[in-house]
Every structure is written in structure tokens, then in C-alpha cells.
Structure 1
């Protein structure tokens, strides 16, 4: 069964159309995945910045607690010295 020229061109056009639509679909999916990955990466970046800021705040607070503890130790030593002189 031989195909005439009109049937061959119709089949070829349909195949080309399907291929073009498939390529456009794959490109569209690639763009979507890239955009989604970029948004997810931006979210991770914000989370990392918050974590770093939180860690720095905790370090600053710990530094303050250490200073207060040093002051308490100094006062306790002075109090012990005073009590030993009295008693």
C-alpha cells in the first residue's frame, strides 16, 4: 500500500507538530524546575541567615552571662573574705 504525496505530507506535518510540542513541553518543564529550585534556594539562604543571626545573638548573650558570672564570683570572693575576717 503506497501512500500518496498528500498523505505523506500530512503524516510528516503531524510528526513535526508532535515533536515541536514535546520539545516545548520539556523546555517549559525545565524552566519551571529551575524557577522552583531558585525559589527553594532563596528560602534556604534566608533560613541560613536567620540561623547565623540567631547564633550571633546567642554568642553575645553568652558573653554577657559570662561577664555577670565573673562579677558574681568576684563579689562572692569579697564576701567570703569579709566573713572570714569577721568570724
Structure 2
């Protein structure tokens, strides 16, 4: 009987240790969940920032092309020895 009681106490001690370890692992898991949520939020913010930068670069590229067209129009006028008319302004590339 003493042997059985000893085994029961040993098993109860193991259960107690496992419960403590399980609680510790649950806390760590919860902390990891918070860390993962933070990383996902940071990642989403970085994606949005990258998209905004890419859009800005595309906008600037388009602006650069329109600037090149303006310079070309101006030089065509110069080449013809004409004074560019006031119509040749930003946004109006008509050659008069």
C-alpha cells in the first residue's frame, strides 16, 4: 500500500510540475502572439510606405516626362528662331 501511495504522490508531483510548465508555455505563447501582431502591423505599415514611395516615384517619373516634353517644345521653338508664345507653359504643349 505504501508503494501505491508513493506512486500516487510521485504522479501528483509530476502533474504539478507539468501544470507549472504548461502555464509558463501558455504565457510565452501569449507573448509570442503579441509580438507577431506587432510585427504584422509593422509589416503592413512598411508595405503601405513602400506603395506610397512607389506611387510618388511613378508620379515624379510622369512629371519628369512632361518636363522633357516642355523642354523639347521650347527647343523646337528656339530652333525655328521663334520666340515661344505664352501658350507654351506647363501643361500646355501646343506648338503655335
Provide the TM-score with structure 1 as the length reference: 0.78
Between 31-40 and 72-81, report the one with greater CA deviation: 31-40
Instruction: Give 5+ residue unaligned stretches, structure 2.
Output: 83-96
Question: Following TM superposition, where does structure 1 have runs of at least 4 consecutive aligned residues deviating by more than 4 angstroms?
Answer: none
Q: Number of matched residues?
A: 81
Instruction: Give 5+ residue unaligned stretches, structure 1.
Output: none
The residue number in structure 2 matching 1:69 is: 68
Per-residue deviation, 1:9: 3.9
Q: Which has the higher contact order (CA 8 A, sep 6+)?
A: 2
Q: Which has the higher helix share?
A: 1
- 3-state SS of paired residue (1:3): helix
Distance 2:11 2:21 in 1: 15
Provide the TM-score with structure 2 as the length reference: 0.72
